[in-house]
């Protein structure tokens, strides 16, 4: 009885706070969207991740900023922002991971979603849920989006490494991505989209893959520091 009362009290007290909570990024119609992405799906699970609720939340938030290489928006990309990871199952087997993030675009929020391989962390599909931009048509084109299929967070960290030690290296898969042709006004949204992919991959690496791509980050970081030291 006591636990029921405690639960009800929690529900009542928690509810009004939701209106003021930081805004996360969720699929509009999870069941339909995930079934579309994974026709063989039998069920899915939603996991809500929030830095304040994680044991090492403060450290992870700092690490996100460091790995992203850019500042987080102080109002809309805060420590309190919740992140929903969708795990897709076929029977007992986990067949996919889907995650989305908000990134500020030039004229409105951009919602960047990735579906990933649950074992390797490779991008299976990249799509926008929301994108208002002069370059929207080009950014949504299959030709552009499909270039990201097969990439991992490791490839983005490797890109940082190659950009320092061997610019233009053939092994740099991220550098090989061809931006779509759009007017100059679309450039900020293209860059915001790339930032969104990277932010998305970093968060999923934290929440799902147990930081498996960290060695690539460390290598890139060391290379950058060495290059910096040489310059000085």
Partner 1 sequence: MEETIQDPFVLRRYVVLATKNLRRRPVRTGLTVAGVALAVTVAVSLGGFMLGYRGAIDKSIKMLGYQVMIMAKGCPYEAATMMLKGGTGLLYLPGDTYQQVKSDPDIENITPIFVGVVEKQASSIRDEGAASNFTIISGIDVPSFLVMKPWLGFKQGPGYANGRWFTPGSKDEVVLGFEAAEYEQRKVGDSFYASITPAGKPNPVMYQFTVVGVLERTGTQDDGTVFLPIDATREYFNRPNQLTILGIKLKEFSSFKMREFETRWLKLPEVQVVGLQQVKNTLVNLVATAQTMIAAVAAIAVIVALIGVINTILMSVYERTAEIGIMKALGARRGSIFQLIWLETLMVCFVGALVGSAMAVIGAGLVETAIKGLADLGVSGSIVQITPALVGYTVLVAVVLGFFAGLYPAWCAASMRPVEAIGKGG
Q: Which residues contact partner 1 by CB under 8 A?
A: 5, 8-9, 11-12, 15-16, 23, 28-29, 32-33, 36-37, 73-76, 102, 104, 106-109, 113, 125, 127-134, 136, 140, 185
Residue 32 Rama label (left phi>0; alpha psi -120 to 50; beta): alpha
CA atoms within 13 A on the CB side of 90: 9
Which residue lies nearer to partner 1 by CB, 27 or 163? 27
Helices (H), 100-173: 136-139, 142-145, 153-165
Shortest distance in whole angstroms from residue 168 CB to partner 1 = 33
Which residue lies nearer to partner 1 by CB, 56 or 132? 132
Which residue lies nearer to partner 1 by CB, 41 or 54? 41
Shortest distance in whole angstroms from residue 130 CB to partner 1 = 7
Which residue lies nearer to partner 1 by CB, 185 or 222? 185
Shortest distance in whole angstroms from residue 232 CB to partner 1 = 34
Residues in contact with 81: Cβ distance below 8 Å, sequence separation at least 6, in sequence order? 22, 23, 24, 50, 51, 102
State phi, psi for 76 to the nearest 5 degrees.
-105, -5
Shortest distance in whole angstroms from residue 28 CB to partner 1 = 6
To 10 degrees, the CA torsion angle through 7, 13, 15, 18?
Answer: -120
């Amino acid at each position: 009885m006591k636990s029921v009362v405690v639960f009800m009290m929690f529900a009542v007290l928690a509810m009004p706070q939701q209106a003021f909570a930081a805004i996360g990024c969720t699929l509009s119609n999870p069941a339909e969207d995930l079934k579309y992405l994974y026709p063989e799906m039998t069920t899915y699970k939603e996991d809500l991740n929030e830095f304040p609720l994680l044991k090492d939340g403060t450290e992870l938030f700092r690490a996100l900023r460091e790995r992203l290489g850019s500042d987080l928006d102080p109002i809309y990309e805060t420590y309190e922002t919740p992140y929903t990871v969708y795990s897709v199952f076929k029977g007992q087997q986990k067949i996919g991971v889907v995650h989305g993030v908000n990134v500020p675009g030039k004229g409105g929020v951009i919602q960047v979603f990735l579906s990933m391989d649950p074992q390797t962390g490779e991008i299976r599909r990249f799509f926008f849920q929301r994108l208002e931009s002069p370059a929207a048509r080009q950014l949504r084109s299959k030709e552009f989006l499909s270039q990201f299929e097969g990439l991992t967070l490791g490839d983005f960290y490797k890109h940082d490494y190659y950009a320092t030690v061997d610019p233009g290296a053939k092994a740099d898969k991220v550098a090989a991505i061809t931006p779509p042709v759009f007017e100059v006004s679309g450039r900020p949204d293209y860059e915001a989209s790339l930032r969104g992919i990277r932010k998305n991959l970093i968060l999923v690496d934290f929440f799902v893959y147990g930081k498996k791509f960290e060695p690539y980050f460390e290598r890139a970081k060391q290379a950058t520091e060495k290059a910096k030291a040489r310059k000085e």
